Amino acid sequence: MGIYTAPGVLAYVVNGSSLNTNLNLPAGTHKTVVEAWDNCGGASTSTVTVTVNSGPGVFVTSPGNNSTVSSPVNFAATATTSCAKGIGAMGIYTGPYKLAYASNGANLKTSMALSPGKYNAVVQEWDNCGGSTTKAVTITVGGHAFTNLQKSGGWTGFGQGPPKFVDCNPCGSQISWSMTQGIQSPSTSGASTKYALGGQGPYWDVLFNNHLIGDLSSQGMPDSNHTLVPTLHNFTYDVYFYGGNLGAAQALEFDFNQFFDGMGFIWGQECRIAGGNVWDVWDNVNEKWVSTGVSCRPNNNAWNHLTIQAQRTSNNQLLYQSITLNGVTHTLNWYFNPGKSPGWWGVTVNYQMDGDIKQSPYQIYLDQLTFSYD
């Protein structure tokens, strides 16, 4: 058995079927992986996210400092103290003297609805000895957002199969899929949506798509005069997802798209699971996936929180800004040129499930899907 403290960094290994050790890690959040290798050539892993505190103080894991987020804003923080009596409470100030939230103990986790704008927020802890420490977090809340899109109307589904992955519906026995809205459990909001993939495959995918703004808008925003779509530059895709058999997924894709003036901007983000536990992004011009080298190991049988931020630059390039999974942010700042898409005007969101070599059936639940734009 062994412990990876970072992708490719095997920090500890021991023979046998049990492991018990102490490792010194620098302050920060580490997505460690414990792996077991059997004597038949097989292996299995378990991911453990560890936050190492450097000393007394407040440690904010979400939202990221100087980030652009959508409302409701997810706050998560912990605190430590030299006070022998421990932490009494923690709170969030959204402005000077504006205590917007407080809770007892040394852990804080909440979602807070905030109006669009910039906030110089402060997370504060109060210990039981009369002391206190703070941590400042500057955030910008996006000006416009579609919330709980998983329960919205307007979704369509298409199968895609090798080698060209052209949309089809129906597609025959190679693939089957379904989408069921209004699921109460598992759910974070009381109304998640279950997406299921099956069939005979192999490597067949299902694409779920929703036209939000512009052509075929499901949200009452057709933008017939083409005055809105070309003005939009900043996008955030925020979602919770849950799977009980994530290892059966070749990949999960979370995409959003913008089309105007013959240009197609496809921000494709793919979490390759059976495909290698790495995040890929889509190269529009060369029409291929490009590995980021960033590990993607979502938790099985648990809710995972994903936030993707991207931008269309002033000179019409796609900018992949960051990917945040379960509180761990990886900043990319990768630029690509757009593809071609004559005739389309609009903004769409996608969610896609990819089948593995056996087309193993699996289900994914999405909840609190928010798409912010400005």
The predicted-structure confidence for 240-291, as pLDDT tens digits, reads as follows 999 999 999 999 999 999 999 999 999 999 999 998 999 999 999 999 999 9
Residues 228 and 299 in one domain: yes
> Quick one: 259 and 356 in the same domain?
yes
94 and 21 belong to one structural domain? no
Q: What is the pLDDT of residues 294-343, one digit of tens each?
A: 999 999 999 999 989 999 999 999 999 999 898 788 999 999 999 999 88
Residue type, 169: N
Number of domains in the chain: 3
Residues 161 and 273 reside in one and the same domain: yes
Q: Which of 89, 113, 142 is the last residue of a domain?
A: 142
Element housing 135 (H / E) = strand 132-141
Helices (H) and strands (E) in the chain, counts: 0, 28
Q: Is 215 helix (H, G, I), strand (E, B) or coil?
A: coil
Final residue belonging to a domain, choices 123, 142, 161 = 142
* pLDDT of the residue at 306: 93
Same domain (yes/no): 195, 247: yes
The pair of structure tokens assigned to 169 is: 């519906």
Nearest partner of 349 among 180, 207, 165, 140, judged by Cα = 207
Q: Do residues 131 and 149 share a domain?
A: no
Residue appearing with tokens 């206190």: 132
* Beta partners for residue 307, in sequence order: 238, 324
Q: Are residues 14 and 93 in the same domain?
A: no
Q: Which of 142, 169, 190 is the last residue of a domain?
A: 142
Note whether 94 and 172 are same-domain residues: no
Residues 223 and 294 placed together within one structural domain of the fold:
yes
Higher pLDDT, 54 or 23: 23
Residue 143 binned pLDDT confidence (cut-offs 50, 70, 90): low
CATH code for position 74: 2.60.40.10
CATH number for the domain spanning 271: value is: 2.60.120.260
The mean pLDDT of 83-94, rounded to a whole number, is 95
> Would you tell me how many other CB atoms lie within 10 Å of the CB of residue 223?
18
Cα separation, 349 vs 351, whole angstroms:
7
Q: Are residues 156 and 305 in the same domain?
A: yes
Cis peptide before 170 (omega within 30 of 0): yes
Q: Can you give the residue range of the structural domain that contains 32?
A: 2-52
pTM: 0.67
Does 9 score more than 90 pLDDT? no
State the average pLDDT over residues 172-194. 96
Residues 150 and 107 in one domain: no
Examine the domain organization and report whether 31 and 74 are in the same domain.
no
